[in-house]
């Protein structure tokens, strides 16, 4: 959905340039230049945008649920690691970029969903995603959110990134996380408590063309991902009036389970050993969260997370 909106916004900008409203395009480019750093400085959220009625229907379509397992005190800042990426990242968007689900369960906390910086170069679209509470995934942006001395901020990072979307097949439990330790270092440098989040049902929204590792399709996708910064999974689901083929996601329930916080003591210069130790603890807590809740959401007892 967001990709379609982004394409529409880019098309609108091109029409302004080619039409008789080119001066509006010039004014917007000036605004873009002056406002370029905002996605790295907390964005520009709007309660009105986050409360649009369309998001209520979006959440109810699947439906999307946010499951709380522990209180998160607004006196601290948190770094929430979201898993898995899936194709749509519907759980992350529905729970952290719309009101009022999150603020009702975690009063006093303000969530910021960090996404790829490339999206903030899209004319007009950038204004919407900032209003929804999305900010850049750059180190500068994460630091800005977690530097809030009074606490009450929650950075939400989809740890597996674009690369993990290529594993988003129904039933897949493979997470790209073993080499991803930047978020651990950021949590240590800012003393932000780590919170594992697992979104059950995220990989069931689409069927993806078979792309096992080593296949020609996977090799092409991985090369494109390295060049462009985002992946291009070939997926399909249902149509508007039929269920056999289309790009509308299947109506599969999503349960985004927020785990208990892992206390983190501020360390401006963490060593490699300290980062590895906290990373191992995070993996342990993430696996425990999954194992404790998998039976509630249709995961067979013999299936477990695969870290790679």
pTM of the model: 0.92
Q: pLDDT tens digits for 254-301? A: 999 999 999 999 999 999 999 999 999 999 999 999 999 999 999 999
Distance CA 129, CA 135 (A): 8
CB atoms within 10 A of CB 304: 13
Joined together, the tokens standing for residue 246 give 């289309």
With CA atoms as reference, report the closest residue to 304 among 171, 163, 160: 171
201 dihedral zone (left: phi>0; alpha: psi -120 to 50; beta):
left
Cβ distance 203 to 170 under 8 Å? yes
Distance CA 178, CA 191 (A): 22
29 dihedral zone (left: phi>0; alpha: psi -120 to 50; beta):
alpha
- Who wins on pLDDT, 58 or 20? 58
Cβ distance 82 to 158 under 8 Å? yes
- 295: DSSP letter: G
Q: Which CATH architecture has domain 39-307?
A: 3-Layer(aba) Sandwich (3.40)
Joined together, the tokens standing for residue 91 give 């759980």
Q: Which of 74-78, 87-91, 93-97, 176-180 has the lowest mean pLDDT?
A: 87-91
With CA atoms as reference, report the closest residue to 210 among 219, 218, 198, 202: 218
Q: pLDDT tens digits for 11-46? A: 666 777 767 777 777 888 899 899 999 999 999 999
């Amino acid at each position: 959905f967001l990709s379609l909106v982004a394409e529409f916004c880019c098309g609108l900008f091109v029409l302004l340039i080619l039409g008789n409203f080119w001066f509006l395009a010039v004014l917007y480019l000036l605004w873009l230049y002056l406002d370029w750093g905002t996605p790295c400085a907390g964005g520009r959220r709007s309660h009105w945008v986050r409360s649009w009625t369309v998001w209520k229907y979006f959440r109810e379509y699947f439906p999307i649920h946010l499951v709380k397992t522990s209180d998160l005190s607004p006196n601290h800042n948190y770094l929430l690691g979201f898993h898995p990426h899936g194709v749509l990242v519907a759980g992350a968007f529905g729970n952290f970029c719309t009101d009022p689900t999150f603020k009702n369960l975690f009063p006093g906390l303000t969530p910021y969903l960090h996404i790829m910086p490339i999206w903030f170069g899209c004319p007009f679209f950038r204004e919407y995603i900032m209003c929804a509470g999305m900010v850049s995934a750059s180190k500068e942006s994460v630091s800005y959110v977690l530097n809030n001395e009074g606490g009450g901020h929650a950075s939400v990072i989809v740890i597996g990134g674009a690369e993990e979307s290529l594993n988003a097949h129904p039933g897949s439990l493979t997470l790209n996380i073993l080499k991803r330790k930047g978020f651990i270092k950021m949590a240590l440098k800012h003393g932000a408590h780590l919170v594992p989040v697992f979104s059950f049902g995220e990989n069931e929204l689409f069927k993806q063309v078979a792309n096992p590792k080593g296949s020609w399709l996977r090799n092409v996708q991985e090369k494109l991902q390295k060049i462009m910064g985002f992946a291009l999974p070939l997926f399909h689901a249902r149509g508007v009036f039929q269920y056999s083929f289309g790009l509308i996601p299947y109506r599969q329930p999503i349960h985004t389970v927020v785990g208990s916080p892992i206390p983190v003591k501020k360390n401006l210069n963490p060593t490699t050993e300290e980062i590895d130790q906290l990373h191992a603890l995070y993996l342990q807590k993430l696996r425990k969260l999954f194992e404790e809740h998998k039976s509630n959401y249709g995961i067979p007892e013999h299936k477990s997370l695969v870290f790679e």
